[in-house]
């Protein structure tokens, strides 16, 4: 299997942007969005004016072919080149890391299991990264993920594409384009790439009208939710309602029912984050977060 990497080099120098699809093989929207962008550049519908654009439609080709999240190891954890290669994904690390070493800006496109719309994981506190993230046209942001759940044990478990890219000095954003099978997920990813190009002044303005896309339009009100706690599923427990990602809950409102009939109330006014209907007992089931002003 080979990893397909497409590079576009307009003659004018400028920022290096890398866009990744299908880091998780069962998340198809990113691959579709990236492939569509490449096709649109090839037929001059999208015109680049400067910089370097690197596109990887499918970062994990075997997982993509098999329709699974990963083959032997989650490619978006423990991402760094390894001397001893024990898992299939270990062979992809140096390819992806090599690419990210040479990039200044990363857009990594994913989708998720819960019902819900697009959102962005905010990582660092870099004002330039925040401005870039806010320019992608997505209304919702999840903050504090790595602080709350990133291990903190000194291992590089939580190091995925964005963490690795940031460690090499890049601005990096993970965009979750919505539920895996949302009809608009690929379109959201495609628009986000165009918006990233526009934000970085890499897109020729002349092509915007033909595209029929208003990349400068505001995303409207943008809101942030800070992760507070994780709930693991207990045997026999069930949701109080069929939650969607980012549903709001009032303090004291039932979030879930435990097997004995005991109610699990919301600790304060907040939001249900990434609820997984099909989580097995002991697995991460959902997260609880509260509204937070976006930094910057
Ligand atoms: Zn993913």
The CATH number of 6-211 is: 3.40.630.10
Q: How far is the CA of 30 from the centre of ligand 1 (A)?
A: 10
Q: How far is the CA of 285 from the centre of ligand 1 (A)?
A: 17
Instruction: Print burial letters for 143-182: b (CB count within 10 Å at least 16), e (below 16).
Output: bbbbeeeeeeeeeeebbbbbbbbbbeebbbbbbbbbbbeb
User: How many residues are recorded in the chain?
Assistant: 296
CA end-to-end span of the chain, whole Å? Answer: 43
Determine the pLDDT at residue 69. 96
Determine the pLDDT at residue 154. 60
pTM: 0.93
Segment 135-154, tens digit of pLDDT: 999 999 998 877 776 555 56
Neighbours of 60 (CB within 10 A): 30
Q: How far is the CA of 288 from the centre of ligand 1 (A)?
A: 20
Q: How far is the CA of 161 from the centre of ligand 1 (A)?
A: 11
Region(s) of the chain under CATH 2.40.50.100: 228-292
Q: How far is the CA of 181 from the centre of ligand 1 (A)?
A: 13
Determine the pLDDT at residue 149. 66
Residue with tokens 């979030």: 255
Q: How far is the CA of 214 from the centre of ligand 1 (A)?
A: 27
CA distance 74 to 49: 36
Q: How far is the CA of 13 from the centre of ligand 1 (A)?
A: 32
Region(s) of the chain under CATH 3.40.630.10: 6-211
Q: In what order do the strands lie in the sheet with 284-292?
A: 6-8, 50-56, 12-20, 105-112, 171-179, 119-122, 140-143, 223-232, 284-292, 270-273, 248-249
Q: How far is the CA of 60 from the centre of ligand 1 (A)?
A: 11
Q: How far is the CA of 57 from the centre of ligand 1 (A)?
A: 14
Nearest Cα to Cα of residue 120 among 16, 69, 131 = 131
Q: How far is the CA of 12 from the centre of ligand 1 (A)?
A: 33
Q: How far is the CA of 21 from the centre of ligand 1 (A)?
A: 9
Determine the pLDDT at residue 125. 78
Residue 52, helix vs strand vs coil? strand
Q: How far is the CA of 237 from the centre of ligand 1 (A)?
A: 26
Q: How far is the CA of 110 from the centre of ligand 1 (A)?
A: 4
- E strands, 123-219, in order: 140-143, 171-179
Nearest Cα to Cα of residue 34 among 93, 106, 118, 140 = 106
Determine the pLDDT at residue 144. 83
Determine the pLDDT at residue 52. 98
Q: How far is the CA of 291 from the centre of ligand 1 (A)?
A: 24
How do strand 119-122 and strand 171-179 relate by DSSP bridges? antiparallel
Q: How far is the CA of 24 from the centre of ligand 1 (A)?
A: 5
Residue with tokens 């990133």: 150
Determine the pLDDT at residue 274. 92
Per-residue pLDDT of the chain (296 residues; tens, 9 = 90+): 899 999 999 999 999 999 999 999 999 999 999 999 999 999 999 999 999 999 999 999 999 999 999 999 999 999 999 999 999 999 999 999 999 999 999 999 999 999 999 999 987 778 999 999 999 999 999 988 777 765 555 667 778 999 999 999 999 999 999 999 999 999 999 999 999 999 999 999 888 888 777 766 666 788 999 999 989 999 999 999 999 999 999 999 999 999 888 999 999 999 999 999 889 999 889 999 999 988 75
The CATH class of 228-292 is mainly beta
């Amino acid at each position: 299997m080979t990893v397909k990497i497409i590079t576009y080099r307009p003659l004018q120098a400028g920022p290096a942007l890398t866009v990744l699809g299908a880091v998780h093989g069962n998340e198809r929207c990113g691959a579709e969005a990236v492939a569509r962008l490449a096709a649109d550049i090839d037929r001059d519908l999208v015109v680049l004016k400067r910089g370097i654009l690197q596109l990887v439609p499918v970062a994990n080709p075997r997982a993509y072919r098999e329709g699974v999240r990963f083959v032997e190891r989650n490619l978006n954890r423990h991402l760094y080149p390894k001397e001893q290669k024990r898992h299939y994904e270990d062979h992809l690390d140096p390819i992806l890391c090599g690419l990210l070493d040479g990039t200044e800006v990363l857009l990594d496109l994913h989708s998720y299991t819960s019902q819900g719309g697009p959102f962005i994981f905010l990582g660092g506190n870099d004002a330039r990264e925040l401005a870039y993230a806010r320019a992608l046209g997505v209304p919702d942001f999840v903050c504090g993920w790595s602080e709350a759940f990133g291990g903190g044990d000194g291992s590089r478990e939580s190091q995925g594409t964005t963490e690795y890219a940031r460690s090499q000095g890049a601005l990096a954003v993970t965009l979750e384009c919505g539920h895996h099978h949302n009809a608009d997920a690929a379109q959201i990813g495609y628009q986000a790439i165009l918006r990233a190009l526009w934000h970085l002044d890499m897109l020729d303005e002349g092509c915007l009208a033909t595209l029929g896309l208003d990349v400068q339009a505001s995303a409207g009100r943008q809101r942030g939710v800070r992760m507070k706690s994780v709930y693991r599923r207990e045997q026999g427990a069930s949701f109080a309602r069929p939650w969607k990602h980012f549903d709001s809950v009032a303090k004291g409102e039932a979030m879930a029912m435990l097997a004995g009939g005991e109610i699990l109330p919301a600790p304060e006014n907040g939001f249900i984050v990434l609820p997984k209907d099909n989580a097995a007992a002991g697995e991460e089931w959902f997260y609880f977060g509260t509204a937070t002003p976006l930094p910057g």
